[in-house]
Structure 1
């Protein structure tokens, strides 16, 4: 028992383990995630309905989206943004790891008569011949990736964009990092049976890495017949560190905002959004 508790409370190195498949492809957990996505009143897996509507209105205006605009939404979930982009006449592609989310998104597109290309795939492995005017990645998905994975993604973004194409994504800021603390909690059937329909004991260890500006929420789920560990990594950014990553990978940072609805940048905001433009090779 002592050895198991030592293991539960052990601190890995930043981004040592990657368990996204556990979160997005597990049958039970993916069902719970979809429920959170579709809860219009909360900001758990997606922004709330009013924010999304305001965000899309700003994106459509800011980027001049019309029938000639092609958009790819990485981590599209159940299509909350892609559906609205398509309703604004854009040519839309959505990529997401979750089979349940993609199935739901396709169902909505069929019901609304929208022609949206959906791919159920890890977006780190996505390939396409199609080229896009705008790539979006919303709800701080970028923060869940390691530095190596982020570089892989930015290289893909640059390849997929048309000349002069743009990326819009949001991240957690250092202001949010400062508000986080290291904690250890234990809960029976943690998060209201989020991890399993069966009874389980859930341990949550939150580790803070000050040098790297990374937070880890490490979940250890102990069921009668199995033990699982899920690592939820989050990278936090300053404007300078985010700009540096983009510029190192062939982008020019054009603008910073406090969110993807175009709110003016504030250093007090827990999040920030960036618009970056592909730089053409000379």
Structure 2
């Protein structure tokens, strides 16, 4: 299945349908969680990969950290820059592909959040982890937030719908047991116009992800099953992994 990032993550549609889910309160809770688990007691230099419209990056800068946000979508970056200016904070937002970043031991922390890992081939996904490793200072920490494959497979619905007024975003997922990928057909109906795209994401078990991180040079430090800090289990929807560069 081909994957066109700009088609799948159409900025206007994304902000329209997801704005009510990605609230300020939710972002605040997530940043509080990051501060706790990453022990961000003093100012750190942080790389927010696939930063989107900067909701985590801006909050972290407000807490006194130095943040660089990287995203491949210029539309999201424009929103992020405008929001940072409105908040009166300085964040360096850069357009870039996580497969091609070239930072070298510049950051104390690297974040890759909200299901932004797994969209590429196995080799490219591993390249992302290698790039993260290179970007971190010695003993730096990497926080990765992805779906828990065990939970997803056990709770897979043939259809999920986001509804806003008369507009709909419909996802029809299927899981390929041979590739470990979830293939999604997405239909968006907005203002009476229908748009269809498809995408695929590699979902990992914790065992697989731990092995990948180890190959890239990391050691898993902590793991959680959700942003509320629960333990990872079959019934936990997320895998939030904190790994250390060794």
Which range, TM-score by smaller chain? 0.7 to 0.9
Match of residue 83 from structure 2:
108
Name which one, 1 or 2, has greater alpha-carbon Rg.
1
Shift, 1:52, TM fit? 2.0
How far apart are the structure 2 equivalents of 1:193 and 1:121? 30
Match of residue 6 from structure 1:
none
Q: 1:126 to 1:248 in 2, by over 3 A?
A: same
Do the aligned residues in 2 keep the contact of 1:169 with 1:260 (CA within 8 Å)? Answer: no
Q: Aligned with 2:99: secondary structure?
A: helix
Within the alignment, does 1:244 sit opposite 2:229 as a pair?
no
Of 6, 9, 30, which residue of structure 1 is paired with 2:11?
Answer: 30
Match of residue 191 from structure 2:
none
For residues 142-170 of structure 1, give each alpha carbon's deviation from its aligned partner in whole angstroms, at most 9, with x where no partner exists. 13333122111001000000000111111
Do the aligned residues in 2 keep the contact of 1:177 with 1:236 (CA within 8 Å)? Answer: no
Do the aligned residues in 1 keep the contact of 2:112 with 2:144 (CA within 8 Å)? Answer: yes
How far apart are the structure 1 equivalents of 2:195 and 2:83? 33
For residues 117-149 of structure 1, give each alpha carbon's deviation from its aligned partner in whole angstroms, at most 9, with x where no partner exists. 101233222333561111111111113333122
Shift, 1:238, TM fit? 1.9
CA RMSD of aligned residues (A): 2.7
**Pairing 1:80-159 to 2, within 5 Å after superposition:** 80-128=55-103, 131-159=106-134
Unmatched runs of 5 consecutive residues or more in structure 2 = 161-165, 189-193
How far apart are the structure 2 equivalents of 1:220 and 1:85? 34
Q: Aligned with 2:2: secondary structure?
A: coil
Shift, 1:93, TM fit? 0.6
Within the alignment, does 1:256 sit opposite 2:223 as a pair?
yes
Compute the TM-score of the two structures, normalised by the length of structure 1.
0.74
Compute the TM-score of the two structures, normalised by the length of structure 2.
0.84
Aligned positions, number: 236
Match of residue 78 from structure 1:
53
How far apart are the structure 2 equivalents of 1:261 and 1:51? 11
Do the aligned residues in 2 keep the contact of 1:71 with 1:90 (CA within 8 Å)? Answer: yes
Unmatched runs of 5 consecutive residues or more in structure 1 = 1-15, 186-190, 195-201, 222-226
Do the aligned residues in 1 keep the contact of 2:172 with 2:186 (CA within 8 Å)? Answer: yes
Do the aligned residues in 2 keep the contact of 1:34 with 1:100 (CA within 8 Å)? Answer: no
Q: Aligned with 2:7: secondary structure?
A: helix
Q: Aligned with 2:64: secondary structure?
A: coil
